[in-house]
Chain A
Amino acid sequence: MSLDFEILQRPDFAIVRVRLAQGEKIFAEPSVMASMDPALTLRAGLKGGLIGSMSRAIAGESLILNTFSADRGPGELMLAPGAAGEVIHHRLRGGHIYLQRGAYLAHTEGVDVSAKWGGARGFFSGQGLILLRASGTGDVFFSTYGAVLELNVSDGLIVDTGYIAAFEETLQYEVTVLPGLSLGSKAKSFFFGGEGLVARFSGQGKVWVQTRTVNPFLSWIYPYRPVKQRD
C-alpha cells in the first residue's frame, strides 16, 4: 500500500501532509509534528533498540524516534522540518540512500535508518560529513536548508561537502580539495581557496544538493549578539 502524502508550500516553507489509513504508521524525528488529528497515537521510543539509537545520536540525530500510528482510526498529520526550505520524498525499493546529518525527517515501515560513518577523512573535515543510511522498501522524507537541486551524476560531480543533502548508494565518493587547489603543488591555494572540502562523486546516481548552508548565516549573525558584561 502506498502512503497518501503531499508536500505543500514548496519551495521555501515546505511541509508534508500525511494521511494515515487505519493501522498505518509513520516514524518521525522528534518535534517535527506541526499539527495532527487527535485520532492518531504518538509514541516516543528508542527505535532500533539502544545500539541503533546510539548510532543515530553519534550521527547528529536524536536518540528518540516518534511513532505516529492510526490504531484507532485514520487521521492526518503535518510534518515540518526545523529550518525553512525544501522537503524531498524518496521511495526506496530495496536499495539505500545516504542522508547528511540533520536532513532526516520521517520514514514509513519497511525502512531502516541507521548511522554510517563518512570515513575518517569525512569525519575530520569539520564539515560534518556524517551520514545516515536509509535502506529497505518504503518512503523516506528529508529536508534541506534553502532550495534543493536534484542532480544526476553520470560523468562525475564535485559538491562542497556542506551542501550535500543526500545521495544514492550507487555513487562512489571521495572527500578531497578542489582540482587545482592540491596541497602539494599549491599550498597557498589550499589554505586560502576558502572553498573547504568537496566530495568527488563518480558512478551513476542522484545527488540532492541544497542551495544554502546554515554556517555562513551563523557567522554573519555573530557580531550582532550582545556582548557579555564583565565586571
Chain B
Amino acid sequence: MQIEILARPAASVAKLTLGAGERVTCEVGAMVAMSTGIQVQTSTRSKGAGGIWAGVKRVFAGENFFLNEFTAQHGSQTLIIGPSLSGDIVHHVLRAGSLIVQGSSWLASGPEIGIDATFQGLGKALFSGESVFWVKCSGHGDVLLSSFGAIYEIEVDGTHVVDTGHIVAFEDTLQFKVSKLGDSWIQSFLSGEGLVCHFSGRGRLYCQSHNPPSFGRALGPDLYPR
C-alpha cells in the first residue's frame, strides 16, 4: 500500500494506492472518493479484536461501532480518505508494540493491525477530559492518524507535559498521569492550564495544535440556542 498525504495541512486527505487483494480498515464515513475496483465491507471487528464487544468498547473510545474494510479487487486502485474536521493527517509505521490513540484521531490502519479499545483509568478520564477508553493499535503496518489543526511529534525521553485535549497518540512505552502543572494548585488553575498530562518513559508522542473542546466552547455561546 502506497500512502500519500495531499492538501496539507488544513484540509488534508490521504490517497492510498492498493495492489490487488490489499485491504485497509477505515473509520466509518472517511471515504471521499475511490476507484471502482474496490469492495467495501462493514464489520464490527478487526484483526485480533473480538466482535461485538470490541465494537461497544470503540463507542466508548469515541469511535464508531462499525468499521469499513476496503479491499482492492484489481491492482493499482485508489482510495481517498479524510477526517471530518479541519486538520492534518500523519502516517505512523508500527513495527512492534502498540500505539494508543485518542478516540477521534484514528482514521485508518493496515490489515495486520489490531484495533481495540483500551481502558486508561476512570480517574484519568474524569479529570483529563479525554475518554475512558482509547483506541489501541497493535501489530505491524501503517496507521493513519488525524488531528484537529496541525500535528507535531515529540520524542519523549524522560518526562513531558501535554495539556489535556492536545494528545493525538503515543507509543505504549510511555505512561501518563493527570495532575496539576507546577507546585501549587492555585498557580495551576490561575494559569488557565488546569490539569495536564505528565508523560514519562521513552517513546513517540503526537500532539495537535488545537483542542476541539476549546474551539467548541469559544463558538458555542454565540450560537442560537438548541
Residues in A lying within 8 Å of B, measured CB to CB = 11-12, 84-85, 146-149, 151, 155-160, 163, 178-181, 186, 188-189, 192-196, 198, 200, 207, 209, 211-213, 216-217, 220-229
Contacts and interface: CB of A to CB of B under 8 A. Distances in A.
Given A163-B33, A180-B40, 8 more contacts: A149-B80, A157-B35, A158-B35, A194-B28, A224-B217, A226-B225, A227-B225, A229-B225
A181 B40 contact: yes
Interface stretch (B10-18, B120-128, B137-145): B10-18
Contact of B32 (A11, A160, A227): A160
A222 B220 CA distance: 8
Contacts of B68: 193-195
A203 B151 CA distance: 39
Interface centre among B82, B84, B212 (most CB of A within 10 A): B82
Given A12-B11, A160-B32, A211-B32, A223 B216 contact: yes
Given A158-B33, A211-B12, A221-B219, A194 B64 contact: yes
Contact of B85 (A160, A192, A217): A217
A212 B82 contact: yes
B82 A189 contact: no
Contact of A228 (B35, B39, B41, B225): B225
Contacts of B28: 192-195
Contacts of B223: 221, 224-226
Interface string B76-107: 00001010111000000000000000000000
B39 A179 contact: yes
Contacts of B82: 211-212
B42 A188 contact: yes
Contacts, number: 137
Interface of B: 6-7, 10-13, 28-29, 31-36, 38-42, 64-66, 68, 80, 82, 84-86, 212, 216-217, 219-221, 223-226
A216 B87 CA distance: 13
Contacts of B217: 224
Contacts of A155: 35-36
A85 B40 contact: no
Contacts of B219: 221, 224
Contacts of A146: 7, 10-11, 86
Nearest to A219: B84
B13 A192 contact: no
Given A146-B11, A179-B39, A212-B82, A226 B220 contact: yes
Given A146-B7, A193-B28, A220-B84, A226 B226 contact: yes
Interface centre among B42, B212, B223, B226 (most CB of A within 10 A): B42
Nearest to B12: A211
Contacts of B7: 11, 146-149, 211
5 contacts: A146-B10, A158-B33, A158-B35, A198-B31, A220-B84
Contacts of B85: 212, 216-217, 220
A17 to B, nearest CB: 21
